Each structure stands twice: as C-alpha cells, then as structure tokens.
C-alpha cells in the first residue's frame, strides 16, 4: 500500500518557476555553466568533464560502463569519447584478455586535467552553498534524497498508478 500523494501543485494555479523541479533544474544548469566556463581553458565542455572524471576515478573503464554510470545513451558516449580522443585526453585500447573489449585510458594530458576537476567541483558547490550551515546542508541533502527515492520508486513501478496519482479526500485506502 503506498502513501497518499499530496497535491502541492494544482493544475489551475501551476507556475513552473515556483515548482521544486524547476528550481532544481535551474540550480543544475547554473552549476553546469560555471563548471563548463572554468574548464573551457583546459579544452573541456560540460559534457566532457563527467566522462573524464569517471574514467579518472576508475568508475568506468569501457564505453558501456561509462554510458551506464553517466546515465547516457551509447551514441552520446561514443561522440563524447571521439571528441576526448581527438583532443588528446584519452585513448581506446583493446583488452589483451578479450579483444572484443575496448578499454578507456586517460593520456597524461587527460590525467592532468582530470586531477583538477574534484577541487573545481568542490569550489563551485561550496560557492553555491554560501550561507548554509552544515546542519542546513545535511537537511537539504536529506530532502533531495527523499525526492530522488520517490523518483526511483516511480521508475521502478511505472504502471503502478497508486504510486503517483493524488488520492482525493473522498477515496480511502484499503
């Protein structure tokens, strides 16, 4: 039995710029733009630093792993890897154990740029959180995790109408 879904946003008075998801999107865009601007002198775009960091951290060693970890489709990953390779940041190397597998390796240039990314991300995030206390940050992250948990539950059960539709006050749970 799922809990009742509240009606915080009635369609008749809906204002997109007042919605939580619009605010989250605006924050994400602002963050991405600043990170992209700061990495531009190193020759990276926003779409390129994420794969570079994931390869650097060892989270992804193949295009398929990168697609899964970065939540990107295979075609997007292939185009991004092509660009990173043409810029000299990475190389594709056939596995010596399984010739069907192509591993992704950072070049020395790619490694040097990737090592800068964590500090830059911390700097940008800290700037965006200016004025927050540690307790406020933890509460904020907890709230965001709840939203994410709800989203993941809806993805896992896309046909479960009770998980996403408001229950009117006249309905009763059984």
**For residue 36, is it within any domain?**
yes
Residue 165, phi then psi, degrees to nearest 5:
-100, 140
Asked whether 5 and 164 are in contact (CB, 8 A), the reply is yes
**How many domains does the chain fold into?**
1
**For residue 85, is it within any domain?**
yes
pTM recorded for the entire structure: 0.79
Which pLDDT belongs to residue 169?
A: 38
Which pLDDT belongs to residue 88?
A: 97
Residue-wise pLDDT tens for the chain (174 aa)?
456 788 899 999 999 999 999 999 999 999 999 999 999 999 999 889 999 999 999 999 999 999 999 999 999 999 999 999 999 999 999 988 888 899 999 999 999 999 999 999 999 999 999 999 999 999 999 999 999 999 999 999 988 755 444 443 334 333
Phi-psi region of 15 (alpha: psi -120 to 50; beta: other; left: phi over 0): beta
Q: Where are the alpha helices (DSSP H) in 7-133?
A: 20-39, 46-56, 63-70, 74-86, 108-128
Which pLDDT belongs to residue 167?
A: 41
Which pLDDT belongs to residue 2?
A: 55
Give me the residue label for tokens 């531009």. Answer: 40
Residue range(s) defining the domain that contains residue 94? 20-125
Query: CATH code at 111?
Result: 1.10.10.10
């Amino acid at each position: 039995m799922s809990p009742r879904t509240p009606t915080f946003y009635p369609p008749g008075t809906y204002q997109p710029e007042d919605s939580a998801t619009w605010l989250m999107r605006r924050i994400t865009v602002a963050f991405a733009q600043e990170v992209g601007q700061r990495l531009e002198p190193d020759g990276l775009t926003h779409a390129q630093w994420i794969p570079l960091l994931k390869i650097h951290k060892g989270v992804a060693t193949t295009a398929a792993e990168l697609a899964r970890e970065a939540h990107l489709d295979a075609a997007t990953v292939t185009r991004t890897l092509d660009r990173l390779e043409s810029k000299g940041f990475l190389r594709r190397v056939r596995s010596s154990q399984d010739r069907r597998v192509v591993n992704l390796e950072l070049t020395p240039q790619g490694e040097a740029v990737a090592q800068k990314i964590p500090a830059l991300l911390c700097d940008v995030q800290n700037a965006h959180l200016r004025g927050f206390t540690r307790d406020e940050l933890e509460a904020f992250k907890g709230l965001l995790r709840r939203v994410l948990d709800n989203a993941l539950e809806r993805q896992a059960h896309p046909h479960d109408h009770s998980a996403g539709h408001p229950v009117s006050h006249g309905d009763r749970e059984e």
